[in-house]
Amino acid sequence: MSTHSSSRRAPGARPPAPAFRRGLVAAASAALFLAACGGGGGASHTGASGLSQDQVESDAGNASQLGNHSASTFDNLFDTTQIVTSAAAQGATADGVVVNCAGGGTATITITGGTLATQLNGQFDAGEHYTVQFAQCRGQLDYAQLDGTMDMDIVSVAVSPAGRTIQAALTLESLKMTLPVGTLALGGQADFSRTVADGDNGATTTTSELTSSELTAKTTFHGRAATFDLTNVDFTRVVNKVNGIATGSTFSGDMTIAGSADGFQFKNVEISTDSATTYDVDGNPLNGAWTAVHGDTTIHVGLSGGIVTVQLDRGSDGTIDRTWTFPLQHLIDAEG
């Protein structure tokens, strides 16, 4: 899939809000995520909307997972680059330094901008540019493996009583993250903001905001290949840690997807979370609600107590035409 090049927004600026009601979109977005990820097999019923139950469930899987996996990839990139930058500071040059990653593999880093002293101080400084080539690189206590190239410009760094905030602009060249369920390859440009707030007894709250006019995503989850264009991307991911160990996270956001997954086609499907969705330390959803608007159909998806509820509104007229439930694992398996 080709990567779309577009002019970059000012750091921190958000893309235009999708032209649909957030409430409806949140529910429909959850269903869409499931369907986009690919769904289960077997016979399926096709209603007046033209969407089979399999495709609706596939939308729901991608709605609940694809955005969170994409956001966590950017988090992983940023965190690993910080570790690599600190390790590179032990040398006398910032040009093509090869660093052994904490969990295996290597990262080759080149830093320009600023001065040699700031490049080798082990931290991000405004005006610096980073090029990092990851080769089977795993961060400490992190199951995700990174491969590919990332360019990052540090736009601003601010420290206040509320925490530390860094704004950056990233460009990915088919950056691939390997997860237990398969691989996710991302390409394109994005604005990224990271704030870390310190709490008591070693607790920290890390908030990452990601916006992009367009990203490409290729997945090989659960043995299935899928290709997506993600547009109007606006994600927020919050990770809670104690003494550096993640205890859980939340995700919220909007995007529009187009592409194909497991034989299903998607064109301008508008997805949104109804509220922040909670995930466990392994990235599995615990509770949440999403909305996906797929053509003339609005899909509402809710997750609570390990049970997923899908409500189908054919014609998007506010009337629920069909409701069904299934276990959480079925939702997870539908991604990709």
In a domain, 55, yes or no: yes
In a domain, 230, yes or no: yes
Asked if 122 and 106 count as a contact pair (C-beta separation under 8 A), the reply is: no
In a domain, 168, yes or no: no
In a domain, 293, yes or no: yes
Q: How many domains does the chain have?
A: 1
pLDDT category at 212 given cuts 50, 70, 90 is very high
Closest to 130 measured CA to CA, from 147, 151, 101: 151
In a domain, 170, yes or no: no
Residue 169 in tokens: 């602009």
Share the mean pLDDT of the chain.
82
Exposed, middle or buried: residue 178 (CB in 10 Å: 0-12, 13-18, 19+)? middle
In a domain, 139, yes or no: no
Q: What are phi and psi of 37, to 5 degrees?
A: -75, -10
CA distance 225 to 85: 34
**Residue 30: its pLDDT value, please?**
36
CA distance 168 to 130: 10
In a domain, 229, yes or no: yes
**Residue 44: its pLDDT value, please?**
35
Q: Percent of the chain having pLDDT more than 90? A: 51
Out of 71-75, 92-96, 97-101, pick the least confident.
92-96
Q: For the residues 39-49, what does the mean pLDDT come to?
A: 36
**Structural domain boundaries, residue 228:** 22-94+180-333
Out of 66-75, 210-219, 286-295, 325-334, pick the least confident.
325-334
In a domain, 280, yes or no: yes
What pLDDT digit, counting tens, does each position of 137-161 carry? 987 655 689 999 999 999 999 988 8
